[in-house]
Amino acid sequence: MRTSRVSRETAQIVNALSSERRRSTRQSLQAFADDRAGAEGQEVEEKVAPDAVIRQDDDDSSSLSSLGSLGKRKREDDTSTPRKAAVLEATTVRRAPRKALKTEDAEYNQDNTAFPRKPRRQPAQHIKGPNGAVTVEPPPNWAEVYNITAAMRKRIIAPVDTMGCESLAEEHRSPRDQRLQTLVSLMLSSQTKDTVTAAAMKNLQENMPGGFTLESLIAVEPAVLNELIGKVGFHNNKTKYLKATATILRYKHNDDIPSTIEGLVSLPGVGPKMAYLCMSAAWGRTEGIGVDVHVHRITNLWGWHKTATPEQTRAELEAWLPREKWHEINHLLVGLGQTVCLPVGRRCGDCDLAEKGLCPGAEVRKGSPRKKVKRELEVKVEDGEVATKSEEVKVEADDVAVKVEAESGDLGHVEVQAAAGATADIEDAVK
C-alpha cells in the first residue's frame, strides 16, 4: 500500500521515540539493580550531607559528567583531592554555640537599674474534702501584700479619705437623718468622682428647705432636686431614684432606711456594693464586702483570683478574707486605685508592692517617658545685673505630677497627690 511522505516521516519519529523510552527504562532498572546489589552487606551511616555543588569547568565534557552524577548519592565523603576537600569544608553546616541562659532574678532598664521579676500568680485554692465540703485556702502571701498596702496608704491621702461617702453625713443631725444622708451619698457616687459627690451633698444640705431630711426630700420639686445634684453623673435618673426612694421609705420602712441587705437592694438605684457599704456605715453591721471597680480590678491584678464581675470577686474574697477586714478593704483599695494603681497609667514606680516584687500585675518599664518643660534660671551679666533665662529641659514623666506635702494630726507627715495624679472614681453602673 502506498503511503505519503509525511506519514512515513511521522512513523519514523514515533518508532525512534518508543525505542529511546524503552532503552531509558531498561537502563534505569539496571542501574537500580546495581545499586541494590552494591548496598547489600554494607552498613549505611546516616550523615548530614552538604548541599549539592555543581562544578562547571571550561571543558564541556567535564560539565556533562558533573551533571550526570547529580542523580547519584555519595555514600562516603570523597576528600581525595584538595579541591573536593575545600568544597566539603565550605558546605559543612556548623552550629553556633548555645548561649548561656540568664539566671539572675532581675531585669534592667536603660539606666542599669534592677527591677524584681514579676511573681507568679497564686490565687486562693478551692479544696474539696472527702465529705464534699469545699474549703478555700487563701493566697500564700496575702497578709504581706495587705500590710504593705495599708502602710503605703497611710503615707498617701486619697480623695476617699476626706470626701468618701461615709464621711459626708451631717454630724449634728439625728441618727435617722444621718443614715438617710449616707444612703443618698452612696446613690450619688455611682460613676462620679468623690469631689463631685461631696459638692452635691453640700448643695443638698445647705439648700434643701428645712435641711436635708426625709420630709424635705419628699417635698422638694424634682426640677429643684435635679438642679442641686446637676454635677453628678446621670443626675436625671438619680433624681427619679431619690424621689422614689423617699416615698418607699415613708410608706414601707417607717421613715427610715432598711436595716437588711435585701431591703437596701430593693430600693431603686441601689446595688450590692452600695448596700454592703451602707449597712456598715449607717447601721454598724458588716455583712459583706463592698466591691467596686477598684477592689475588683486590683485584687485581680494581685492574682488573688480570676473573676469577671464584682459580685464574683465579692464571693471569692468573703470565702477566705478574715471578717474583720471586710469593711476596711474597700476604703483601702479605693484610695490605692485613686492615687497609685490607676485604671489607666498605673504608677508602678511609686508602689511598694512593685518595688518588693509582690505584684504580678506590675508594669516594669524599660525606660521612663520624658517630657519637655521650661524652667527659668537667673543669670548674672555684666555690671552686676541679673537677667532671667528660660530653657527647655527633659524630665521624667512622673516628676511632672503634682504632689503636695502636708501635716496631719492623725497621720503625721503625709503626701497628698493632687489633680495630676487623681482619677475618676468609677463605681458600678446605675441600675
Catalytic residues, by residue number, are: 273
Q: Which of 204, 223, 327 is nearest to 276 (CA)?
A: 327
Bridge partners (DSSP) listed for residue 389: 377
Q: Report how far apart, in Å, the C-alpha atoms of 106 and of each of 5, 103, 346, 348, 357 are.
A: 91, 9, 21, 16, 10
Contact 401, 141 (CB under 8 A): no
Report d(CA 229, CA 201) in Å as an integer: 8
Q: Which of 190, 247, 253 is nearest to 220 (CA)?
A: 247
**CA gyration radius for the chain?**
41
Report d(CA 216, CA 228) in Å as an integer: 13
Bridge partners (DSSP) listed for residue 116: 106
Q: Which of 127, 104, 131 is nearest to 115 (CA)?
A: 104
Give residue for cell 494630726: 409
Q: Which of 302, 391, 286, 282 is nearest to 346 (CA)?
A: 302
Residue type present at position 214: L
DSSP output for 232-279: STTHHHHHHHHHHHHHHHHHHSTTS--SSHHHHHTSTT--HHHHHHHH
The Cβ of residue 428 has, within 10 Å, a number of other Cβ atoms equal to 20
What cell was used for 112?
542599669
Residue 34 φ then ψ, to 5°: -65, -40
Give residue for cell 511522505: 5
